[in-house]
Chain A
Amino acid sequence: MNRSHRHGAGSGCLGTMEVKSKFGAEFRRFSLERSKPGKFEEFYGLLQHVHKIPNMDVLVGYADIHGDLLPINNDDNYHKAVSTANPLLRIFIQKKEEADYSAFGTDTLIKKKNVLTNVLRPDNHRKKPHIVISMPQDFRPVSSIIDVDILPETHRRVRLYKYGTEKPLGFYIRDGSSVRVTPHGLEKVPGIFISRLVPGGLAQSTGLLAVNDEVLEVNGIEVSGKSLDQVTDMMIANSRNLIITVRPANQRNNVVRHSRTSGSSGQSTDNSLLSASQQAEPSFEPEDEDSEDEDIVIEDNGMPQQIPKATPTAQSLESLTQIELTFEPGQNGCIPSREVNLAPVAGGTNAESETRAPNQKLLEEDGTIITL
């Protein structure tokens, strides 16, 4: 039977594909129709069925053409897995509670071997403990440096993400003046500077901002020509998802540009903007500020609930739910190369996400920005 399937897949006349699924020490082989792979849920149910683990929460991964272990957790990466599998789709199933999150990811080809061996031989002794990374649906945006590749090296764009933290933003701004090179020589221009960081505040704990950093933009809007009060208002209005572009007072800690390498499935970004440095268009995604729109509405039954965004069209409701629960196509849980995260991420996120009611997951960010 295996043989015939392999043969069929190889010949392609039946359009089926062989699947080899490993759970623990057990293997199962079965076939899928390549042209009609169906939905992830169905596939997940199938796996549970063939491994006879109907009530177990598992993580599904597959080995891609580069040998990277990538997760399958939505229709998109499932379809990607099916379409790229040649000839065999190798599936690795782990129990959710004992999952080795570190195994996933786009490592270099050199490291890939190790990763695979780790998974293939789970009893194999690991040399060093890995940081536990939760699954993409548990990810939440955190403070980070973004857009390194399109900003000049002297600038830093920092996203201060207050979501889910009780910490105050904890910084102050002031008026000041900075010296700029202009066609008329050096000129002093008024500017806005960070004047103080509150100890223990978000701004300080990220380590991304420092006193005397000059604020250049707030959420993509240049602050030059704006008064201190205007900038204050803009920052407070954006305080749930504040993206400030600064010229750090200390230029020694700048991100080194040539470290920008893409993984196997990483997206390449717009390099042309590099030269246009200062006037670079803000490239963060405006839509994710919807996070702060979770206005709370209390209906007459007295139960607070957050206001979902109105579904633009009735028919899209279903798909919208899907998209919001899962994440962006093509990303496959890889680190977007534009995001270099210096903030501590890790742990904790899992527990936090579990406290959320299931229906609230709808209201989470669209998951477009994920930092690892």
Chain B
Amino acid sequence: MMKFRFRRQGADPQREKLKQELFAFHKTVEHGFPNQPSALAFDPELRIMAIGTRSGAVKIYGAPGVEFTGLHQDAATVTQMHFLPGQGRLLTLLDDNSLHLWELVSCGGCAHLEETLSFQPPSRPGFDSASSLPSLSRVTVVLLVADGARAALGTEGGSVFFLDVGTLTLLEGQTLGPDEILRSLPDDYRCGKALGPVESLQGHLHDPSKILIGYSRGLLVIWSQAARCVDRVFLGNQQLESLCWERSGGTVVSSHSDGSYAVWTVGSGSSLVLQPTEATTPYGPFPCKAINKILWRNCRSGGRFLIFSGGMPRASYGDRHCVSVLQAETLVTLDFTSRVIDFFTVHSMQPKDDFDDPQALAVLLEEELVVLDLQTPGWPALPAPYLAPLHSSAITCSAHVANVPAKLWARLVSAGEKQSPQPASSASSWPITGGRNLAQEPLQHGLLLTGHEDGTVRFWDASGVALQPLYKLGTAGLFQTDFEHADSLGQAAEDDWPPFRKVGCFDPYSDDPRLGVQKVALCKYTAQMVVAGTAGQVLVLELSDMPAERALSVASVDLLQDREGFTWKGHDRLGPSTGPLSWPVGFQPLVLVQCLPPAAVTAVTLHTEWGLVAFGTSHGFGLFDYQCKSPVLARCTLHPNDSLAMEGPLSRVKSLKKSLRQSFRRIRKSRVSGKKRVMNANSKLQEANAQLAEQACPHDLEVAPVQRRIEPRSADDSLSGVVRCLYFADTFLRDAVHHGPTLWAGTNSGSVFAYALEVPTATAGSEKRPERAVEAVLGKEVQLMHRAPVVAIAVLDGRGRPLPEPYEASRDLAQAPDMQGGHAVLIASEEQFKVFTLPKVSAKTKFKLTAHEGCRVRKVALATFTSVACEDYAETCLACLTNLGDVHVFSVPGLRPQVHYPCIRKEDISAIASCVFTRHGQGFYLISPSEFERFSLSARNITEPLCSLDICCPRGTACASYRLHESPKLSQANGTPSIILAPRSCDGSPSPARSKGAGDMPQTPEATLSPLSVDSATSADTTLDTTGDVTVEDVKDFLGSSEEPQKNVRNAVQDEACSYPILIK
């Protein structure tokens, strides 16, 4: 008995070393579109673009694959960003009025985007008593002057301050107060009013010592800083929004809050200009909204581009998010689906050029980035190679497929190209081309599938740093919905003017919530896939290179099997479209199976070799032979007491019933306690004493009334019948001699059903099996005693390795499973992992995660981890994400904990729910509705940005070009910082304004890190990960690890006994 005491074994150094070679945690890159962008900047020299967000993240993008990320220490909104042109430095202004200088620095051969300096202006007068500075109130605009050596800060009080950028210190004595300006104004303009905040600051194109200042009240001033005098004054009277110089410097355009813009000529005559040469309200005459920003770009071909945001007629189109592009007589009103944050043009910056000749217009919207090619007639939109709006419709599920065969990849790409033909001219002209991607071409293709609320499945190229859309599958067309054509009718009713043009693909509105995709699985060898949705629809599709026209074959499976006493109160099933439908090249449906009742599909699995698809809902699961188009099996998993499951997932009835029940309980309770109040004097005395006692320990009074019931799960907990996972395996279910196809299903209440399947075998040479009925016989039923939901099931072969996917073994793509030794089944519940022997089901090893750690399993997957030290050494492990957001890795089949890392904040439930693991130890989760964070658990298999940027040395010395390498990401841009970057001291003189001390940069990557982005498993053990739940993977070598340091105490008994059978060479 004593031997079972807790053992805290010392770490075995050999195993520890091995673990370091196998496992390492990095958050590597963020895919998708930054959440809540708030600022945009573009460096025309380096051709890189920066996006700032409301959470304080800064992201820099160049050519595809070139990405840098940084995060401000304070999660404040980035309101403005300005590149120091050509220097790889960026000045940011946050809404807490602080300025930060970021730099792309090289550090020991690798580089990061790094915050070097920050500056918090003195906020109150007299705060800094040494200086007699006027209060530096809220900074409204920032202008970099003198090649970025100095910055002019326009403030809310109307002053302009000057700042030395090298040290981020205020240059005293140069401040320009509004009084100085007012002095040179005519009296009748002054009329006692203040000038208002500085609205715009623009440098003078020819004289660096002059700046153009625009005040909110409408006054424009050209100020000569050298002479400290007003050079020119334009007496505007309309509230100013923005200013822009014409290229020649002879004209200024100003935009105003009434939706007008005015053109001012900087003539050589009087220094006082009273009237603009031209004032237009483009969308007049009715009241218009403000033009927030205006750009003036001229062209060699004649005509000018005026590009402005806003200015729409307030009454009719005041709610539109528009950018107008006006060239000569051509006006296009770009109509976006989300708010316009900022925009810029990519144009010639050569000083000797007389023309801007804008190539492209980039518009940053709240939800996407749209780039228009301004040199191609019609100004088509350019497909973005990154910043894909993942959330164009809300993501409802995702799955990753590793090692996609080149053939399927090519077919997918060509199907995608046919779907959205690209104009050949603009195909190669993505204008933001800064930096070079040094990452090697990924050795294998990774495919990320996202299912969306609107019934689409999007295929993304997840092989590298930039997540690119490949193909989009829409399932809405298969169904009759009430909402069809409503959109187009509304469109037609609109007037021709303004000339709206819908741009962008962000469309958050779903026609019908029943279309939502719940589960996706893809077989990469047969290019067959299954898409299952909210209304119980299970769609089996196959990729076809030919367009086709045929009717949809429909079947339905009743999962209730005449179970009485249940009525479905949820949504109706989707009516399938009738008649022949035409299918373009791409995935075309083979069959549609509809579950009855039409509850959301909760689990799905596909076995293409057997031609079977299994699906589960909250009521039961079904097995369908899609080759013969006949149902094989339907099994109801409802517990007789579980009436709640019947009422549908969206039912209000349920919540009403629940709340009614609760309120009755409350009433009853209060009655009971009311009775208690009627008591005799004796008990009153007792109560008084009790109260006294309570006061004696005051901590009891402050507690929150939240309490939790401690009770083992019972069979009749609600929704116990929900099918959580389904799994096909060729294994030994009946006896130890004959193996055959089996189907496994796990439910929410810890039940596992195993069916033996009778699948007619294909005759030699033919792919298709004979048309005989498939049979399913219930073989085993396991009820886990702890009744926790079963999240995954996988069968391990005689060598303790997961079985390969369909077709892998038969096509020699994976090592055939060991059918000699005893198989075992790994059942992962939310609380425990357990390995049972087969065919006689008896517990072999287990790990009780919840009992030990107090966390629950959310996602598990089997993944292969290849050693960094030796490419031939790999282990298959169980990766697990818990409800606390931690990632744990366990050995298989020993189930001993290997490593664990904090990954996601536990409050971020949607991130935890969205997590998907890949086969090779990476993973994705949503850090916002629009962004996937990619992380890596493997020490070898890391996909991270590796890029270089040619930067003019910013220190004023000779320009040199050096390579920058992005290191593994050190911080996460979206408010969940893992490491806060320590600001590094700059080469400037120390300044009191520097708010943070010097510190060296965080660690360089370990020497053992492979610089390659490689999924290191060879092609021989390529497998499929479609469900995102269980992935099964091959191992070349599995070292029985009897020498693990962190022994699972509860496994101690079994460990000793089992280490021998587990040890496999």
Contact = CB atoms under 8 A, between A and B. Distances in A.
Interface of A: 162, 168-179, 188, 193, 195-196, 212, 218-221, 223, 226, 228-240, 242, 281-283, 285-287, 289, 292-300, 307-310, 312-313, 328, 368
B782 interface: yes
Contact of A239 (B4, B710, B783, B1053): B710
B856 A240 contact: no
A240 B782 contact: no
Contact of A295 (B702, B785, B837): B785
B703 A235 contact: no
B408 interface: no
Contacts of A188: 699
Nearest to A188: B699
B15 interface: no
Contacts of A299: 779-780
A176 B781 contact: no
B1058 A174 contact: no
A176 B783 contact: no
B831 interface: yes
B708 A229 contact: yes
Contacts of B853: 234
Contact of A300 (B702, B780, B854, B1053): B780
B705 interface: yes
A309 B843 CA distance: 5
B5 A172 contact: no
B1050 interface: yes
A308 B842 CA distance: 6
B755 to A, nearest CB: 10
B848 A237 contact: yes
Given A176-B703, A228-B706, A300-B778, A286 B713 contact: no
B836 interface: yes
A242 B851 CA distance: 10
A195 B4 CA distance: 33
Contact of B699 (A176, A220, A240, A310): A176
Given A286-B4, A312-B1054, A176 B700 contact: yes
Given A221-B852, A285-B1, A177 B777 contact: no
B1049 interface: yes
Contacts of B778: 300
Contacts of A310: 836-837, 842-844, 1054
A228 B779 contact: no
Given A239-B711, A293-B846, A312-B1057, A300 B734 contact: yes
Interface in B1-19: 1, 4-6
A308 B700 CA distance: 46
Nearest to B884: A230
B367 to A, nearest CB: 34
B785 A169 contact: no
Nearest to A331: B1
A269 to B, nearest CB: 10
B6 A220 contact: yes
B503 interface: no
Given A177-B699, A178-B699, A307-B843, A237 B709 contact: no
A300 B843 CA distance: 19
Contact of B712 (A174, A175, A236): A236
Contact of A294 (B711, B785, B836, B841): B785
Contact of A173 (B702, B707, B850, B1050): B707
B786 interface: yes
Contacts of B1057: 312-313
CB-CB nearest 6 A-B residue pairs: A312-B1057, A230-B854, A237-B850, A239-B712, A298-B781, A232-B708
Contacts of B834: 295
Given A174-B708, A239-B711, A286-B1052, A292 B785 contact: yes
A191 to B, nearest CB: 9
Contact size class for B?
Answer: 35 or more
A368 B831 contact: no
A324 B686 CA distance: 51
B851 A193 contact: no
Contact of B785 (A174, A296, A300): A296
Does more than half of chain B's interface fall in helix, strand or loop, or is it mixed? mixed
Contacts of A286: 4-6, 1049-1050, 1052
Nearest to B694: A212
Contacts of B832: 237
A282 B6 contact: yes
B843 A221 contact: no
A235 B710 contact: yes
A174 B699 CA distance: 13
A314 to B, nearest CB: 11
Contact of A296 (B5, B779, B783, B852): B783
Nearest to A282: B6
Given A172-B707, A228-B706, 9 more contacts: A175-B704, A236-B712, A236-B850, A237-B832, A239-B786, A285-B5, A295-B782, A296-B781, A307-B841
28 contacts: A162-B712, A174-B706, A174-B707, A174-B708, A176-B702, A177-B699, A228-B708, A236-B711, A237-B832, A237-B848, A237-B850, A239-B786, A240-B712, A240-B785, A286-B4, A286-B1049, A286-B1050, A293-B846, A295-B782, A295-B783, A295-B785, A295-B834, A297-B783, A307-B836, A308-B843, A309-B842, A310-B844, A312-B1057
A312 B1058 contact: yes
B785 A297 contact: no
Given A287-B4, A312-B1058, A232 B710 contact: yes
Contacts of A233: 831, 850, 854-856
Contacts of B836: 307, 310
B709 A172 contact: yes
B235 interface: no
Q: Name the residue among B699, B836, B856 with the largest chain A CB count within 10 angstroms.
A: B699
Contacts of B842: 307-310
Nearest to A281: B6
A306 to B, nearest CB: 9
A21 to B, nearest CB: 32
B784 interface: yes
B720 to A, nearest CB: 15
Contacts of A236: 710-713, 850
A212 B782 CA distance: 39
Interface in B711-750: 711-713, 734
Nearest to B703: A176
B6 A168 contact: no
A330 B220 CA distance: 99
B707 A297 contact: no
A172 B782 contact: no
Contact of B851 (A170, A232, A234): A234
B711 A168 contact: yes
A226 B783 CA distance: 30
A312 B1058 CA distance: 6
B854 A226 contact: yes
A172 B708 contact: yes
Contacts of B788: 237
A300 B855 contact: no
Contacts of B784: 295
Contacts of A228: 706, 708
B4 to A, nearest CB: 4
Nearest to B844: A310
A269 B708 CA distance: 36
B782 A328 contact: no
B1056 interface: yes
Nearest to B704: A175
Contacts of A229: 708
A177 B704 contact: no
A171 B710 contact: yes
